Amino acid sequence: MFQKILIANRGEIACRVIKTARRMGIKTVAVYSDADKDALHVEMADEAVRIGPAASAQSYLVAERIVQACRDTGAQAVHPGYGFLSERESFAQVLAAAGVTFIGPNPQAIAAMGDKIESKKLAVKAGVTTVPGFVGEIKDASHAKQIASDIGYPVMVKASAGGGGKGLRIVHNEKEIVQAIQSSQNEARASFGDDRLFVEKFVTEPRHIEIQVLGDKHGNVIYLNERECSIQRRHQKVIEEAPSPFLDEKTRQAMGEQAVALAKAVGYDSAGTVEFIVDRDRNFYFLEMNTRLQVEHPVTELITGLDLVELMIRIAAEEPLPISQSDVKIHGWAVEARIYAEDPYRGFLPSTGRLSRYRPPAEGRRGEILVRNDTGVYEGGEISIYYDPMIAKLCTHGLSRDAAVTAMGEALDEFYIEGINHNIPFLAAIMHNERFRQGRLSTGFIAEEFPDGFHGRSVDETTLRRFAAIATAVKLVRTERASRVSGQLNGALVSSRSFVVALSEQEVEVRDASLKGEEFRAQIEGKEYSGRIVWRIGQKILRLEDEGGVAAIKVSREPGGYRLTHAGIEVTASVRVPAIARLARLMPQKAPPDTSKFLLCPMPGLVVSINVSEGSEVKAGETLAVVEAMKMENVLTAERDGIVKKINVGKGDSLALDDVILEFA
């Protein structure tokens, strides 16, 4: 077994590998760019080596610097994590030439499966069902148009190298294909250094279901069941689970056997994932093979009891697989939610900055529920524009799907983050979505369930009463403390027990409110309410127990009131005595500034291109500019017809949120 390994990655996956290596008694070496010098993985590792500037193309993607770090530290093996160099054949070869073991598949398997065009050809040869399309590299836009015309729209334009939704666009008509090719090539070049593309048919009502495979260097290959990864946004997975609520045992076995056949055809000898598109009739088609550890590997670990990182390390050390196919079972159900630094209320635009508060739920067992949180950040750390916006992967495991999903909703309610925008309210809303609870999933789920974007869950009567009670109780606690300030008559400020609670745009009447210890009682809209409220001033999570059950509610102080968040619902609450409430209704509303004549930058990022010039006429839907943030290109289009009056930025400029890109006449 290796004495020391280097992790050629960053963030949560680097921390994840370090944890397993530490448990195995293996010393670890972290590598870091200038942007990551204070990162968590650097602190966790036994040693750390700087490998270059912030841009990944000058640090994490430079194989020679990784090899030099191995020489400098005496690392015997390298775990690549996912992304960066993990699926690059040349990286495995460079390591081998330096006498360093690659903790992953052999270079030939990476070459065969890492290229989506070649992998489709091999899949056909191995008897694996594939999606209709053009098996080969597209030459240019006209070639792509011809292919799309032959197989019929909608089609997918995809990067031949890489994964993770990078370099992938769905094209519904010929007008969209030129911009799709340009953006896909740019993303693929930036992420993988390879801008080759291909086109294939987009399967309607598809599910994205993948099979985890595991092979050793002695010819043994098994599959570790499936993961359902259909909840995606912009082709980036958001929520995963294992097993799939859709597959029956017959389909699971057929998919598993095809995945194993493909792996054996290329002599696969590590952890890998064969991805399939599955239609509503359970017909499945090979999509691609990822020759690395997947982001969503924890859900497989939770239902099998296996540590995939440990098995990868042992396989690299030439140990045979410790289990056979008959040993692989399904124990319970696991769900993973990816917590991203993005604003779900503004079209999921990336968010960067400092994590002024980072308080995840406690990990470990809670009766029959297990909570796990894989992360690479800490309170006070920075979310950079240079890398993926992932903050953490929150996982729950229960005996049933319903138990795991319910537990995920509760764990998300306990997750508190401040300083940046994040998608926790959106994830929580999905956990309470009836269609999701029923397991009726597809890759179009988010677009279909939130066609106008995410605006939070609507407040039902039960939640309205709960929020009114919580806001009133918090007000009573704070007022009672204020009454004990030196020089005040004890209790003088707590003269009223009746309030009007303004919850965003709704008003709720609360009478005879009292809080004795943790017991709260009141009349809310004329109906009796009682509940147990556990909260102290300064705490970010309030715990409530009432007739609706037990709940965790985030409480934040806001000017004039509080922000309350629970189960994907977020409201601003102001608690006033009736006389003040009457006056508040008379206050004029401040209108937001008119920005209709400006194109504002929707997130911090770099200008990739300005697609118009001063004085040019533009039509609604026309591309105005492209801004890159966190390795993803964001195309900014005109909302209506107009004339460009002034352009304020140029290609390569770094922009902050709401910077003015251009002005209209």
Q: Is 342 a catalytic residue?
A: no
- Dump pLDDT digits (tens) for 281-293: 899 999 999 999 9
| CA–CA dist 379, 558 (Å, integer) | 21
Is 371:411 a contact under the CB 8 Å cutoff? yes
Comparing 69 with 190, the larger pLDDT belongs to 69
Burial class (CB in 10 A: 0-12, 13-18, 19+), 19: middle
| CA–CA dist 211, 222 (Å, integer) | 10
What's the CATH code, domain 105-124+208-329? 3.30.470.20
At residue 63 the predicted structure's pLDDT band, cuts being 50, 70 and 90, is very high
At residue 632 the predicted structure's pLDDT band, cuts being 50, 70 and 90, is confident
**For residue 135, what pLDDT is reported?**
67
Q: Tell me, what amino acid is at 131?
A: V
349 Cβ neighbours under 8 A, 6+ residues apart: 342, 343, 602, 603, 629, 634
Residue 299 CB coordination number (10 Å) = 29
Beta 4-7 vs 27-33: how paired, if at all?
parallel
Using CA atoms, how far residue 321 sits from 247, 293, 306, 315, in Å, is 26, 16, 12, 7
DSSP-assigned beta bridge partners for residue 201: 155
Rank 25-39, 104-118, 451-465 by mean pLDDT and report only the highest.
25-39
Window from 88-97, 112-121, 385-394 with minimum mean pLDDT: 112-121
**For residue 44, what pLDDT is reported?**
98
Is 570:412 a contact under the CB 8 Å cutoff? no
- Dump pLDDT digits (tens) for 348-367: 888 888 999 999 999 999 99
- Dump pLDDT digits (tens) for 114-145: 777 788 889 999 999 988 777 678 888 889 89
H or E segment and range at residue 362: none
**For residue 162, what pLDDT is reported?**
64
Q: Which of 241, 288, 570, 633 is catalytic?
A: 288
| CA–CA dist 409, 412 (Å, integer) | 5
At residue 492 the predicted structure's pLDDT band, cuts being 50, 70 and 90, is very low
What's the CATH code, domain 332-456? 3.30.470.20
| CA–CA dist 7, 14 (Å, integer) | 6
288 Cβ neighbours under 8 A, 6+ residues apart: 113, 116, 119, 163, 275
Q: Tell me the mean pLDDT in the region 386-400.
A: 95
* Whole-number percent of the chain with pLDDT over 90: 74
Residue located via tokens 């601003």: 572
Tell me the HSE value of 165 on the side-chain side, using a 13 A CA sphere.
18
| CA–CA dist 169, 180 (Å, integer) | 6
- Asked whether the predicted pLDDT for residue 48 surpasses 60, the reply is yes
Is 164:192 a contact under the CB 8 Å cutoff? no
Q: Tell me the mean pLDDT in the region 435-444.
A: 96
H or E segment and range at residue 519: strand 519-524
Window from 9-18, 65-74, 142-151, 575-584 with minimum mean pLDDT: 142-151
**For residue 486, what pLDDT is reported?**
67
**For residue 347, what pLDDT is reported?**
87
At residue 11 the predicted structure's pLDDT band, cuts being 50, 70 and 90, is very high
Using CA atoms, how far residue 663 sits from 196, 600, 642, in Å, is 36, 9, 10
- Give the end-to-end CA distance of the chain in Å, rounded to a whole number: 68
| CA–CA dist 103, 133 (Å, integer) | 33
At residue 214 the predicted structure's pLDDT band, cuts being 50, 70 and 90, is very high
H or E segment and range at residue 561: strand 561-566
What's the CATH code, domain 461-584? 3.30.700.30
Rank 44-58, 157-171, 468-482, 648-662 by mean pLDDT and report only the highest.
44-58
User: Is 4-103's fold the same as 332-456's?
Assistant: no
At residue 346 the predicted structure's pLDDT band, cuts being 50, 70 and 90, is confident
- Show me where the domains of the chain are located: 4-103, 105-124+208-329, 132-201, 332-456, 461-584, 598-664
DSSP-assigned beta bridge partners for residue 542: 553
Q: Tell me the mean pLDDT in the region 482-501.
A: 69
| CA–CA dist 507, 505 (Å, integer) | 7
| CA–CA dist 636, 638 (Å, integer) | 7
**For residue 342, what pLDDT is reported?**
92
Q: Tell me the mean pLDDT in the region 389-393.
A: 94
Q: Tell me the mean pLDDT in the region 516-534.
A: 95
Residue 233 CB coordination number (10 Å) = 22
| CA–CA dist 367, 370 (Å, integer) | 8
**Helix runs in 541-649, H state only:** 578-584
Task: Specify the CATH class of 132-201 in words.
Answer: alpha beta
Q: Which of 665, 664, 656 minimizes the C-alpha distance to 607? A: 656
- Dump pLDDT digits (tens) for 65-80: 999 999 999 999 999 9
DSSP 185-227: HHHHHHHHS---EEEEEPPSS-EEEEEEEEE-TTS-EEEEEEE
Window from 46-55, 332-341, 522-531, 626-635 with minimum mean pLDDT: 626-635
**Helix/strand/coil percent split, the chain, to 5:** 30, 35, 40
**For residue 592, what pLDDT is reported?**
81
| CA–CA dist 228, 113 (Å, integer) | 21
| CA–CA dist 427, 328 (Å, integer) | 30
Residue 86 CB coordination number (10 Å) = 25
Is 443:373 a contact under the CB 8 Å cutoff? no
Using CA atoms, how far residue 345 sits from 269, 351, 422, in Å, is 43, 12, 10
Q: In a 3-state reduction of DSSP, which class is residue 486? A: coil
Task: Specify the CATH class of 4-103 in words.
Answer: alpha beta
**For residue 434, what pLDDT is reported?**
97
Is 397:304 a contact under the CB 8 Å cutoff? no
User: What is the b/e burial string over 637-661, where b = at least 16 CB atoms within 10 angstroms of the residue's CB?
Assistant: ebeeebebeebebeeeeebebebbb
Q: Tell me the mean pLDDT in the region 371-395.
A: 94
- Dump pLDDT digits (tens) for 592-622: 888 889 999 988 888 999 999 999 999 988 9
- Dump pLDDT digits (tens) for 258-317: 999 999 999 999 999 999 999 988 999 999 999 999 999 999 999 999 999 999 999 999
**For residue 349, what pLDDT is reported?**
84
Window from 149-163, 417-431, 462-476 with minimum mean pLDDT: 149-163
Q: Which of 459, 471, 435 minimizes the C-alpha distance to 567? A: 459
DSSP 412-427: HHH-EEESS--SHHHH
Residue located via tokens 């709704």: 506
| CA–CA dist 245, 334 (Å, integer) | 11
Residue located via tokens 């994964």: 163
Domain 598-664 indexed as CATH 3.40.50.2300: no
- Dump pLDDT digits (tens) for 195-210: 888 888 888 789 999 9
Mean pLDDT, the chain, rounded, equals: 93
CA–CA–CA angle 644, 647, 652 (5° rounding): 135
DSSP-assigned beta bridge partners for residue 556: 563
